[in-house]
Amino acid sequence: MDLDFDRQHIWHPYTSTLNPLPCYPVIRADGVHIYLESGEELVDGMSSWWAAVHGYNHPALNIAAHQQVEHFAHVMFGGLTHAPAIDLCKKLISMTCDSLQHVFLADSGSVAVEVSLKMAMQYWHARGEKRAKFLTLRDGYHGDTFAAMSVTDPDNSMHSLYKGFLPQHIFANSPQSGFWQPWDPKDLDDFHSKLKQHHHDIAAVILEPIIQGAGGMRIYHPEFLRGVRELCDKYGVLLILDEIATGFGRTGKLFAYQHANIEPDILCLGKALTGGYMTLSATLTSSHVANTVCGGQAGCFMHGPTYMANPLACAVATASMELLETNQWQQQTQQIEQCFADLLPQLAEHPRVNEVRWLGAIGVVEVTSAVNMEIIQQHFVEQGVWIRPFGKLIYMMPPYISQPKHIEKLVNAIETALNKPECFVA
């Protein structure tokens, strides 16, 4: 592969064009394995950023893509419709809670978040109220487009850099009680007081249920989420749940909101929606919200992406939902959670480890100093695994089909890294 060209001309995420970190060329991926051009076989611990839940090169997903491409790859969604979109939306409505009855399909997770924020604003506009603020949490992550960035943790998303461009929203302290720890009701105090103070200006609360992902891999207590739902009802504010990372079984429940037995007003889905095959997102809402939005002055929702409901993506997503319907994910994520529960506490003893935490098919090792990305990445490849840490967080979210031996290999690779000082900064 022409890696010189790649280095000189192609932007990769979160690395410099001046002296980019090395990239490993991939020639094939199958099941839980990624194969490099150099001949190495890596056990995948990332599911390609939460997406490839069924593993790579899955026969059922391949067939869905092949069959659809023989019919048509894409047609515009304005004025036209097709079975792949209808089949997928039927499944999404039946899988999610009863109140969610309307589906907006778009290109990516960030766009799903944009759509959800616009829906909330239009909802209040249609009711004759101008509500320009959103309430969210510190340590959150909702995507890289402007509105999504404006509700992402201000330090992680460099709000200082974008001062004057980003709308200013309201950030409450994120919960401190971990999922497995006792619940401390004080966790809700800051959120409550901000909601109380600003609720007339707040269109919606947006947050990631149970797990704050890219903003810090924090796994929090379900009581917090239950409390948020109650307070949103009390103050008459919409609740948007961003389940782009957590949806489709990752936390051990099909949707993370089920840990708290609550229902959102608007739900954002993405990432694993197509089983890691291509980009697609869905924003679901209730008939009440949809009908209010469309009953307003605009008469419709003001959004319509070119590739809306792309039939190839919808066909693969439907096949991915059918795999979830066999319910194997439940036993698979339980097995992975058990592996983490067996293996991670030992690592917590290591002087370099600050905390270990896990839930469902997510395992996190938080270390005391940031990783040296280049060196630790090379270490993982040499150990035959693909794990991509950030900052002080070394985390795993393997495909659901991973066997205990695969999880052991991932955890072993992390353990050996902990004993190599050169894998860490200072």
Ligand X SMILES: *Cc1c(COP(=O)(O)O)cnc(C)c1O
Among 91, 102, 142, 392, binds ligand X (CB under 6 A): 142
CB 277 within 8 A of CB 321: no
On the 0-12 / 13-18 / 19+ scale of CB atoms within 10 A, 99 is middle
Q: Determine the interface stretch with ligand X among 122-130, 153-161, 206-214, 327-335 (rule: CB under 6 A).
A: 206-214
Q: State which of residues 109, 154, 311, 399 lies at the interface with ligand X (CB under 6 A).
A: 109
Known catalytic residue at 24 = no
105 vs 244, which CB is nearer to ligand X? 244
Q: Give CA–CA dist 323/354, Å, rounded.
A: 37
With respect to ligand X, which residue has the nearer C-beta, 242 or 366? 242
| Tokens linked to 330 | 């439940």
Cα separation, 31 vs 418, in Å, equals: 28
DSSP for 271-327, please give it.
Answer: GGGGTTSS--EEEEEEHHHHHHHHHSTTSS-S---TTTT-HHHHHHHHHHHHHHHTT
Two tokens, residue 248 = 């489709």
Residue with tokens 């004057």: 164
- Nearer CB in complex with ligand X: 141/386: 141
Beta carbon nearer to ligand X, 217 or 411: 217
The single residue of 14, 98, 130, 405 carrying the catalytic annotation is 14
Q: How far, in whole angstroms, is CA 375 from its chain's centroid?
A: 27
90 given a catalytic annotation: no
Q: What does the alpha-carbon distance between residue 404 and residue 242 come to, in Å, rounded to a whole number?
A: 30
Scanning 53-61, 141-149, 396-404, 406-414 for contacts with ligand X by CB under 6 A, the matching segment is 141-149
User: Which residue is associated with the tokens 């052991």?
Assistant: 408
Among the candidate windows 75-83, 89-97, 108-116, 388-396, which touches ligand X by CB under 6 A?
108-116
**CA–CA separation, 410 vs 420, rounded Å?**
16
SS3 378: helix
Q: 51 or 290: whose CB is closer to ligand X?
A: 51
Count of residues engaged in binding ligand X, rule: CB under 6 A: 15
Candidates 209, 270, 276, 398; binder of ligand X (CB under 6 A) is 270
H-helix or E-strand spanning residue 219: strand 218-219
In the complex, least distance from residue 148 CB atom to ligand X, rounded to whole angstroms: 6
CA angle 169, 219, 280 (to 5 degrees): 65
Q: Please confirm, yes or no, whether 400 is among the known catalytic residues.
A: no
Residue nearest to ligand X (CB): 109
For residue 141, state whether it binds ligand X (rule: CB under 6 A). Answer: yes
In angstroms, rounded to a whole number, what is the distance separating the alpha carbons of residues 109 and 315?
A: 18
Our answer to whether residue 141 is catalytic in this structure is yes
Contacts of 351 (CB under 8 A, 6+ apart): 368
Span 212-251, contacts to ligand X by CB under 6 A = 213-214, 242, 244-245
**113 near ligand X (CB under 6 A):** yes
Q: Which of 47, 108 has the CB closer to ligand X? A: 108
Minimal distance, residue 209 CB to ligand X, in Å:
10
Which of 123, 141, 257, 277 is an active site residue? 141
CB 246 to ligand X: min, Å: 7
- Determine if 252 is a binding residue for ligand X (CB under 6 A): no
Catalytic residues: 14, 141, 242, 271
Please give the residue ranges that form the binding site for ligand X (CB under 6 A).
Answer: 108-110, 113, 141-143, 208, 213-214, 242, 244-245, 270-271
